[in-house]
Amino acid sequence: MTAGGPTFPGWSPAFQAALDRLAIAAARPPRSHAAGPVTSRVLGRALEFADYRPYTPGDDPKLVDWRAYTRLDRLYLKQYQEERARTIAVLLDGSASLDWGTGSEHKGLFLRQITAALAWIALGRLERIQVWLLQGEGAVRLQTPGSRSGLATLFRTLGELHEAGSLRLDAAVTSAIKQLRGDGPIFLLSDLLDPAWSEALHAIGARGPGNVVLQVLAPDEWDPPLGDEAELQDSETGERRQTRFGLSELRTYRANLDRLLTDVASVSSRLGIRHVALNTGEPLQDVLLKRLPAAGILQ
Amino acid sequence: MTPTLSLDAPAALWLLAALPVILILWMLRPRRPRVRIPSILLWPSSQAERQAARPWQRLRNHPLLWLQLLIAALLALAAAQPFVPSEVVQRQVIVLLDASGSMAARDIQPTRWDAARASVVDLAKSLRPDQTLSILRLDEEPRLLLAGTRDAQQVEVALRDEQPSRGGIDQAAAVALASGLVRGEQSEWVMVGDGTVPPLPEGMAPPSGTRVRFVPIGSPTASNVALAGLTIRPVAAALALQLAIQNAGDQPASGTVQLLAEGERVVASSSFEAQPRDQAYLTWSGIDTGPRWFEARLTSVEPASANHLFSDDHAWATPAQGGSASRVLLVSGGNTFLERVLAIQSGLRVEKISPADSAVLLAQPEAAYALAVFDRQSPGTVASGQGSALYIGGVGGEAFRPGLIAPRPDHPLLRSVDWSEVRVRRAFTMSESSSGWETVVDSDGGPLLSIRTLRQETAPDQPARLRREALLSFDLGDSDLPLRPAFPVLMANLVDWLVPSNQPLEPAIPAGAAATLHAAPLAQALRVEWVVDPDVSEDLAPPWPPRPFHPRTPGVYRVLQEGLQPQPERFVVAEAYAPSEADITPRTPALSGQSGAEALDAAAVLRSVRGGLWPWLLAALLLLSLLEWGVDARGR
């Protein structure tokens, strides 16, 4: 497959070409009835041979291996694994907490670029993709094309998107899942800076294994700088907290962050969710071409 | 008694109101810059955050709070100008300021005198509001400089023009003056000086209950080399001079002394070496007799630390001043004893005349005699223009035979005169018209020896002069006095009193002291002038008798007597060397040792701190500020 069609702002042709060589790994076979590029567990008509089984009345005579009958004088049916289509769901955090960082380190932009890349890869593999924007307590499905030719609209929508407002992650994820059609993997793209992150992960984990959580944090969140006393204000809730960017406070913050990452990884592992924590300070190409393939999310 | 802190500006303590203000500021919820972050989920909550809804917060026990309170308190204290008062406890403080010659020493810079003045000013600054300060200047003539003040500026003004004298201290006069000043009240005496104070006379002491303290001034290693005396004696046709050099220090000293004629021409220069606490002598011989006075000048001393007092580095001397002999007229019909005893008196040129010719001679104004001796002649025959008179016999009163002779003890005219073996066969009482006589030798019949001083008006435009008379109320032939050793001594004393010698009675005036210069009987005025600068002069008489001469500057002074022909040239030396001031080593004064006052703490009594406690407070503030900065930085 070669590069072609619309491009996301800032993408180079070489990067887009590199994406063409990637595919979204399937941790579980699709249960869809529609034909697709992903091998399903359903045995049937396909090109990939799976096994033989004795003929039983009612089987389709077209599936009988007549060559084996001539040799063995018994009727056997050839079985093939059918390649079924899957629907990939991307749940994109659109809350104000993602509106953080400047330039390429902007958390919201970083996740929108990953979303665009996943859509590009999925549609390039003739897979279906749905993008849900999580805001408030609900989820809004963005208009998603069925082929790359229609990606321009999605790309424009993602480019013009502005992260704002509050988010109840568990309610929004649950809302999105209820609206999902298909059993493809779910990609949750969020910073998980929400007290209800665990409930959200459990809602995703209830769909079965093979889902993905990409947790993204800006460099300032990974390593906040020293500073004076300040009144912190939560960008989503508006809640204020008196603190100072002193050594002791930063030590506490880092301990809290480490605990959060450890807890998320632990819960994800228990629920069969692949969790990757990303730093928006990393180049997007390294994330898509190295980190995610290394984590088995892309291949 | 431990001194307590006093404040010079206690009104400034209202600045302590800053302390509650600081507490209030710490209790107020601080307004911090607001920072919008993605989420506060990971940030630790603080005490302030829990109380964010209230404008105030609970007071935190934070090192910064204590440091700020301490700094504010120190600033308020500094504004109140604290000082540690002296250990002076009484309300009335008498400062005995040593102004003796040793206070001019430069062992501490600039001089001991300046340091002593500064100490007194410090003491004035350290007084409590209820205390008053009086300053007594201690020298040969102690006097009160300031009474009952606590104004340090007033003290500064009073001491500004004062300079140390050259002599010692009249301790008894000082104690008497101070005792009169306190008027029986409890007082505290603070002696400021180097302690070179003579002991008090027996039985004299500060008032009972007086607390005497001492503020020592001067370096313990102070040394001095002084020129202790220059003497001149004639040797053949020249002069020989001898100079005594005193090393009053604890280290050997050497140096050079120049001998100058009349202060201008160097006639000799010699080196000397003096052992510690010893004297050295320099002798110059064959010196020309021409100069009227000589000066010895100490030009260099090695090591320089051996000489911290420069005021006694000069000595002066004048050769023996012969002058003209006084003319004495002996009016006598013939008296061998009298003629011989007058002949042996030095400085007299005796002329004898018969009583018949005396009236004519004495009437001539040009024939002025310093003394007329009348042997068996009636008093009152001397012309008014003449000098003194000695009457021997010839008194026209009633005759009597003295049985009991009573000479006045301790009378100067009877010095070394033994009257015990003198017998008088006949004497005469004085006429009733005679007045103003002072009896020197009395008897049961009447006075035997009398003297008087007459004030004699010469002319309306001329000042009055004094005329001295002595009267022996018996003829020498009526007693055995001429045969006794008392006779020449008595006559010498009488002649000395009647005709003051041309030599000054005080050949040298001790440093810092005053002396009475006697004038010739015919002198109409007495004046002294400094040979270095004749404009520095002083009229001593009239009025008669001359007032004491108190030279302000050591050196040689010319004594001028107006009305004498020829004008005698006399010099008097005001010495720079004071034996009591040569040893400038500070010591503990013996003031309280003989008194009933409290024991003297000679080491460190005055605890006043120059300029108050400002330097210490500022240093503490600086350190606290650094500490606060450190605590604040570490807290980040």
B206: tokens are: 């500060």
Both tokens assigned to B83: 């000082």
Contacts of B45 in chain A (CB under 8 A): 241, 243
Nearest CA in chain A to B38: A97
Answer for the pair B608, B122: CB distance below 8 angstroms, yes or no.
Answer: yes
Smallest Cβ–Cβ distance between A235 and the set B32, B36, B45 belongs to B36
Q: What is the mean pLDDT of residues B490-504?
A: 75
Q: Could you say which of B38, B42, B43 has the minimum Cβ distance to residue A100?
A: B38
Q: To probe the interface with A, which of B34, B40, B632 has the most A CB atoms within 10 Å?
A: B40
Residue B321 has pLDDT above 80, yes or no: no
Q: Are B574 and B510 in contact (CB under 8 A)?
A: no
Instruction: For residue A60, give the nearest of A81, A84, A77, A80 by alpha carbon.
Output: A77
Place of tokens 């003394």: B371
Alpha helix (H) residue ranges in A125-246? 151-160, 169-179, 197-205, 219-222
The residues, ordered by sequence, that sit 6+ positions from B630 with a Cβ below 8 Å of its Cβ are none
Whose structure tokens read 């700094």?
A: B71
B457 interfacial to chain A (CB closer than 8 Å): no
Q: Name the pTM for this structure.
A: 0.45
How far does the CA of residue B70 sit from the closest CA of chain A (Å)? 24
Angle at B514 between CA B513 and CA B516, to 5 degrees: 145
Give the helix ranges, DSSP H, for B499-613. Answer: 579-582
Residue B578 CA, distance from chain mean position = 10
A231-235, B384-388, B445-449: range with highest mean pLDDT:
B445-449
Residues of B in Cβ contact (< 8 Å) with A257: 42
Q: How far apart are CA A88 and CA A252, in angstroms?
A: 38
Q: Is the pLDDT of residue B625 over 80?
A: yes
pLDDT over 90 at B27, yes or no: no
Min Cα distance A297 → chain B (Å) is 27
Give pLDDT, residue A58: 77
Q: If interface means Cβ-Cβ distance under 8 Å, which residues of chain A face chain B? A: 96-100, 107, 191, 193-195, 218, 221, 226, 228-236, 239-244, 246-247, 249, 252-253, 256-257, 260
Q: Is the ipTM of this complex over 0.85?
A: no
Can you give the pLDDT at residue B459? 63
pLDDT band, residue B521 (cuts 50/70/90): low
Q: Which of A52-61, A136-145, B127-136, B399-408 has the lowest mean pLDDT?
A: A52-61
Compute CA distances A63 → A16, A54, A113, A217, whole Å.
42, 11, 46, 54
- Ranges under pLDDT 70 in chain A: 1-5, 27-51, 80-85
What pLDDT does A23 receive?
A: 87
Give whole-number Cα distances, B413 to B390, B441, B481, in Å: 13, 10, 15
User: Within the 207-226 window of chain B, which residues sit less than 8 Å (CB to CB) from chain A?
Assistant: none
CB contact under 8 A, B33 and A235: no
The closest of B213, B206, B3, B181 to B92, measured between CA atoms, is B181
A101 contact residues in B (CB cutoff 8 A) = none
User: In chain B, positions 8-37, which contact chain A (CB-CB < 8 Å)?
Assistant: 29-37
- B39/A240 Cβ within 8 A: no
Do B33 and A236 make contact, defined as CB atoms within 8 angstroms? no
Inter-chain Cβ pairs, chain A and chain B, closer than 8 A: 99
Nearest CA in chain B to A194: B41
Alpha-carbon span B160 to B495, nearest angstrom: 49
Tell whether B52 is within 8 A of chain A (Cβ): yes
List pLDDT tens digits, range A16-53.
Answer: 888 888 888 876 655 555 555 555 554 455 555 666 77
Answer whether B138's CB lies under 8 Å from B229's CB.
no
Indicate yes or no: CB of B43 within 8 angstroms of CB of A235: no
Query: Mean pLDDT over residues B623-632, rounded?
Result: 82
**Measured distance CA(A148)–CA(B527) in Å, rounded:** 135
pLDDT in tens, B545-566: 788 888 888 999 988 888 776 6
Instruction: Give the C-alpha separation, B621 to B624, whole Å.
Output: 5
* Residue B142: CB atoms within 10 Å: 22
The answer to whether B258 and B297 are in contact (CB under 8 A) is yes
- Both tokens assigned to A106: 């902007």
Q: What's the confidence (pLDDT) of residue B225?
A: 94
3-state helix vs strand vs coil in chain B, percent to 5: 25, 30, 45
Separation CA B599–CA B596 (nearest Å): 9
Q: Which amino acid is at A210?
A: G
Q: Cα(A133)–Cα(A172) distance, rounded to whole angstroms?
A: 9
Q: Distance between CA atoms of B491 and B476, rounded to whole angstroms?
A: 12
- Residue A232 is predicted with a pLDDT of 84
Contact B188, B74 (CB under 8 A): no
Q: What span, in angstroms and rounded, lies between the C-alpha atoms of A129 and A123?
A: 7
